[in-house]
Amino acid sequence: EALARLKAEGALLATLGTAPLTTEGEDDVTTGEHPVVERALRVAARRLGGFYNFEGLRRFKSKFVPSYWESEYALGQRGVAMPPRVGHAVVRALVPGGLTQLLTRQALRITRLENVTKSLSPASKPAKSTDR
């Protein structure tokens, strides 16, 4: 509804923001011809996927059938440490609630997984009585 209204009001472009660590679009020359970049993005997405649902966000945004996907990158110089404020800014860009919300979500996810695991383990189920 919001996108339709923007179009009706004459907007030529609307964005849903970034979809981190995705490589959408085969004609994306920034990654399409660089297998090392493609692999690095896949590895990063897989390793960081426990903290943030990159693939789910990409799937959600693809439902809006975007005209194109635009890649964005943040690079650092080898041997130069990234200041903590830069890392914090990146987290805030990905998670509106910032680092606190990210860590809280992760803790809740781990707790839920532990509870599910406990409920499925044979030791957690009461033994059946054989006394009759």
Give me the residue label for tokens 């809280």: 104
Q: Write the pLDDT tens digit of every residue in 69-86.
A: 877 777 778 888 888 888
Instruction: Tell me the two tokens of residue 90.
Output: 């990146």
Q: Is pLDDT above 80 for 16?
A: yes
Rounded (to 5) percent helix, strand, coil in the chain: 55, 0, 45
Q: What is the pTM of this model?
A: 0.54
Q: Write the pLDDT tens digit of every residue in 28-62.
A: 545 556 778 778 888 888 888 877 788 888 889 88
Residues 72, 90 contacting (CB under 8 angstroms): no
Task: Determine the pLDDT at residue 29.
Answer: 47
Sequence-ordered list of residues with C-beta below 8 angstroms from that of 68, at least 6 positions apart, any chain: 25
